[in-house]
Amino acid sequence: MALLLWKAFDFFEVSQVKLGDDDTRSFFENNDISSVCSGSESLFLGTHEGYVRIIGPSWKIIRSFQAHDTGRITHMRQVEGTSFLVTVAEDLSNEPVLKVWALDKPVKKTGLPTCLTTLNIHNGRKQFPISAFTALDDLSQVAVGFANGAVTVIRGDLIHDRGTRQRVVHESEEPITGVEFIADPRITTLFVATTARLLKLVISGKGQGQPPRTLEDSGCAVGCMTLNKNTGDIIVVRDDAVYYYNLDGRGLCFANDGTTTLAATYQDYVALVSPPSASSNGDSNNIRRRFGGANTEALFNASTVTMVDPVLQIVAHSESLISKVQALFQVWGDLFILMQNGKINRYHEKPLQQRLELLYQRSLFPLALKLADKSGMDEQQQNIIYRKYGDHLYQKSDYDSAMSQYIKAIDNTEPSQVIRKFLDTQRVNNLIMYLEQLHEHHKATSDHTTLLLNCYAKLKDVEKLEHFIKSEDDLKFDLDTAITMCRQGGYFEQAAYLATKHGESDLVVDILVEDSKNYNDALDFIWHLDPEAAYPALMKYARVLLEHCPKDATQIFIDYYTGKYRPKIHMVKIDEVPSAAGGRFGELAVGTVSAMQNLSNLLPLPYMNTSAIASPATQGNVQTVSDSEVLVDPDSPGESPKYNPPAPRTAFSSFIDHPDEFIVFLEACLKEESLNDTDKSDLYTTLFEMYLHKASKKSEQREEWEFKAKKLISGRDLPIENSNVLLLSHLSDFHDGTTLVKEQSGLLFDIFRSYTSAKDTRGAIKALRKYGPEEPQLYPAALAYFTSDSKVLEEAGPEELSKVLKRIDEDGLMAPLQVIQTLGANAVATMGMIKPYLQETISRERSEIARNRRQINSFRKETEQKRAEITELGSKPAVFQAQRCPGCGAALELPAVHFLCKHSFHQRCLKPGGDGSEPECPVCSNSNAAVRAMKQSQDERAGRHDVFKDALEKGKGDDRFKTVAQWFGQGVMSGGGSVFD
């Protein structure tokens, strides 16, 4: 009864499955299930009649087909992740039949799954039932155990049906109760369990063909052997214990409570199904009699289901079932139990947090930690358990043990929660232990450092105090606190030494700039740092360094942002560094001088040569390292360190109030060819702004700076945005920039308008001459501008006005009436100025009118002539005087055919129409066809409004009226009627 000694919990939520529909419910209640298997997110049920029912997640029968005509399906296997299903049907009158089905390949005629392989399983022609069955995942080998003690192994390609071989690998007088494979790339081993033995047999690989090797002289019952796929262990359940086996032999085992009828694995659990234990308890007998005597046997025929976690050695779940368990299977992430009464119970593992809460309630913190570790809980969550465990021990006054748990949870615990509990004087040792661990884990703050030092002082433990402060292996105290104390006390050199020793280059720069005010030294120190360390220090004090060291600071900015930065190198003669005799810090300086090369020529380190830290009053009396002892080679050969230069715009804010240095920086950055479009745009825009800024500040050099600005934006395909150039030019009153941008953007009319708005007549004339050929609409605008004011007209002159009028007239930019209206809007232009234009226009109009009248008269005469001919044909008889047939050239004789076009033909010379219509005059047929084609084309064009609109939009002035008239004549506006109607 060993399992009764294990702690029992309820780690599973049990619920009865609700079947999806009446057909599924009826199927389960009829108890027609002969075998069960699961896989690929589906449940497969075999029946006694040879049918396979497939159950989906909704617990409905989603598919059903007859796999075997005779016999019941006793074993099935679904290959996980595929559509292959293996079924085995038994009929003791014949050999068992194994079939492999492809569920995703239905037969076209029947719709049933495709049967890939069908074969009879041989047992030496002995008709015994199958008691065990297993197969490899690739179905290359199948093992079948029989009740007569024989084991048959089937090898071959069952999926493609390329032939198989069967061989009886084991025979004995003991019935086979279980078979399982353990396969690796080199060898495949078959474990065989009988009622009396457990055997191991190599069926492929090295050792194949050797007789089975007995692992145990004890077997197991049917259903009590299973495989843990997660670990690859064979689990054998006997009445006395549960045993684990692998290729090396027997492993873990734990005691069992008694008889087990069925075993299965679920995750890390082992599920055991046991029959009801017989009892002679008098109370039980009395209860049976009260419920009806012998009929109560069925009421108490229950099975016991136990879920065991062998790693934690706990019973995760246990319950009694009224009906007998028929099958255990896992699918859809849960474990299910099928009972003989057709009911199905779902066993869903509770969330990890709920399981831990059950352990917390019983103060089983060590077990909770094991569960958390086994479940893969992260360290942060495990620390919560350590903290709870520590609180539990603290309440029991076990302070030493509690502190050990708090230390384990130190990474995710608020230190103040623990420190407050151990502030009592009697628990100082525990507090010191915790504070030391805080520093070891780098979780300590300056307050923790101060508190720890106070604790050392309270205990007068000088040895621990010195060891803590002067530790060389690791920094156990808050470095910032120590450096801050030195800086506040005026020990700037000591603070710089401590920062340099621990690689705090940013603090070294802080001390040199903020405390020592040594700006040149600070800049030189930065120039000796790696690019990753130099950048933040440079950006932090950029304005200060540009203020005091403008030239060098600008150069380091240029080098860094153009990717040419290379740290300077200081080579120190170690043997010439002085040290005080017997001085503790002098010895330390000699040992660490190689790590301080970047600071050796910058900082006077008096504490490197004295036996104790010098006070501010004695710092001037100590020796320093002279410059002659340092070899500086800033231009030494070597490869530049690889780094990604930052975007130039990140340095722009540093050059505020330093425009000259800023311009130098921008011009140097623009020389780089590897700039991307965004950086180029930023650099061009900012440099253009700086040029204009300098032009506005220095009037004596305004033309020079404006020339540079104009030259900068004069190129083509510049990355600078036009809107930025316009805005900056407007703010700086830089007209050339505005004009240049408008030219590049094609805004020629805006350029002309800007001159007219400013009453700059000369600029307007210049713009008109330059842009007029490209932008003809400038001439009407120029005409309106020249005649808007007498002063403007006087500046422009009659000749310029005449040129504008001539160009307007030649290009047809304005109608004469529009010109007159424009000139008459202001009483500026005189009749004498526009008299030549009016004379030429009137003369041209009169000539065109006369020409149009002559054409109209011609069209009218032709129309009247055609109408007269039509009237004569319809009212008067036609006289035919032709004497010869144009078709054959012979004399015309009857029967003859006469046409109204005055042509006559022999009837035999005419060809009848192809569609049965009347014949047409062969002489006039071509001209008639041309007329009909023209009419058809006009009819088709009458509906093409898009073509009409396009022709109308392309026309100018009178051309548009001509277009309308032309299309009107073609019937486009006739409402579908004929143009000849």
Q: Is the pLDDT of residue 723 over 80?
A: no
pLDDT at site 338 = 92
Q: How many helices (H) and strands (E) does the chain have?
A: 33, 33
pLDDT at site 832 = 60
Question: Rounded mean pLDDT of 138-163?
Answer: 89
Using DSSP's 3-state secondary structure scheme, residue 725 falls into helix
Higher pLDDT, 212 or 975: 212
Higher pLDDT, 829 or 846: 846
Bridge-based pairing of strands 314-321 and 7-8 is parallel
Q: Is the pLDDT of residue 5 over 60?
A: yes
Region label for 746, one of left (φ > 0), alpha (ψ between -120 and 50) or beta (otherwise)? left
State how far the alpha carbon of 949 is from the alpha carbons of 226, 571, 943, 952, in Å: 86, 85, 11, 5
Q: Is the pLDDT of residue 637 over 70?
A: no
How many whole angstroms from its chain centre is CA 172? 61
Q: In the structure, what pLDDT confidence band is assigned to residue 759 with cuts at 50, 70 and 90?
A: low
pLDDT at site 760 = 66
Fill in the amino acid letter for 954.
Answer: K
Q: Which helix (H) or strand (E) holds 10?
A: none
Closest CA to 748 of 767, 734, 730: 767
Cis before 310 (ω within 30): no
pLDDT at site 790 = 66
Higher pLDDT, 281 or 308: 308
Q: In the structure, what pLDDT confidence band is assigned to residue 587 with cuts at 50, 70 and 90?
A: very low
Q: What percent of the chain has pLDDT over 90?
A: 18
Q: Is the pLDDT of residue 138 over 80?
A: yes
CA distance 835 to 812: 18
pLDDT at site 886 = 85
In this structure, what token pair is assigned to residue 529? Answer: 């740092």
- Best-predicted range by mean pLDDT among 398-412, 832-846, 954-968? 398-412
Fill in the amino acid letter for 368.
Answer: A
CA distance 136 to 503: 60
pLDDT at site 718 = 64
Higher pLDDT, 98 or 127: 98
Higher pLDDT, 112 or 207: 112
Closest CA to 768 of 757, 783, 758, 788: 783
- Best-predicted range by mean pLDDT among 336-340, 541-545, 556-560? 336-340
For residue 141, how many other CB atoms are within 10 A of its CB?
A: 20
Lowest mean pLDDT among 35-49, 455-469, 524-538: 455-469
User: In angstroms, what is the C-alpha Rg of the chain?
Assistant: 53
For residue 419, how many other CB atoms are within 10 A of its CB?
A: 17
Question: Rounded mean pLDDT of 67-84?
Answer: 90
Is residue 675 within 8 Å of 667, Cβ to Cβ?
Answer: no
For residue 423, how many other CB atoms are within 10 A of its CB?
A: 10
Closest CA to 34 of 57, 51, 10, 9: 51
- Per residue in 942-980, pLDDT (tens digit) is 777 777 777 777 665 556 777 777 777 666 555 444 433
The values of phi and psi at residue 635, to 5°, are -105, 25
* Domain-wise residue ranges, the chain: 358-416, 504-570+643-675, 676-744, 748-843, 884-911+921-952
Q: Side by side, which strands form the sheet with 84-90? A: 72-78, 84-90, 97-106, 113-120
**Helix, strand, coil % in the chain, rounded to nearest 5:** 45, 20, 35
Q: Is the pLDDT of residue 249 over 90?
A: no
pLDDT at site 232 = 86
pLDDT at site 714 = 66
pLDDT at site 85 = 93
pLDDT at site 474 = 60
Q: In the structure, what pLDDT confidence band is assigned to residue 294 with cuts at 50, 70 and 90?
A: very low
Q: Mean of the per-residue pLDDT values for the chain?
A: 76
CA distance 658 to 45: 85
Lowest mean pLDDT among 371-380, 470-479, 747-756, 934-943: 747-756
pLDDT at site 439 = 81
pLDDT at site 980 = 39
Q: Is the pLDDT of residue 282 over 50?
A: no
Higher pLDDT, 708 or 128: 128
Placement of tokens 């001159």 in the chain: 755
Q: In the structure, what pLDDT confidence band is assigned to residue 344 with cuts at 50, 70 and 90?
A: very high
- Per residue in 774-826, pLDDT (tens digit) is 666 666 766 666 666 666 666 666 677 667 776 766 666 676 766 776 676 66
Q: Is the pLDDT of residue 297 over 60?
A: no
- Best-predicted range by mean pLDDT among 408-422, 442-456, 501-515? 408-422
CA distance 116 to 85: 10
Q: Is the pLDDT of residue 208 over 60?
A: yes
Is residue 157 within 8 Å of 167, Cβ to Cβ?
Answer: no
pLDDT at site 15 = 92
CA distance 632 to 635: 9
- Per residue in 516-534, pLDDT (tens digit) is 888 888 888 888 888 888 8
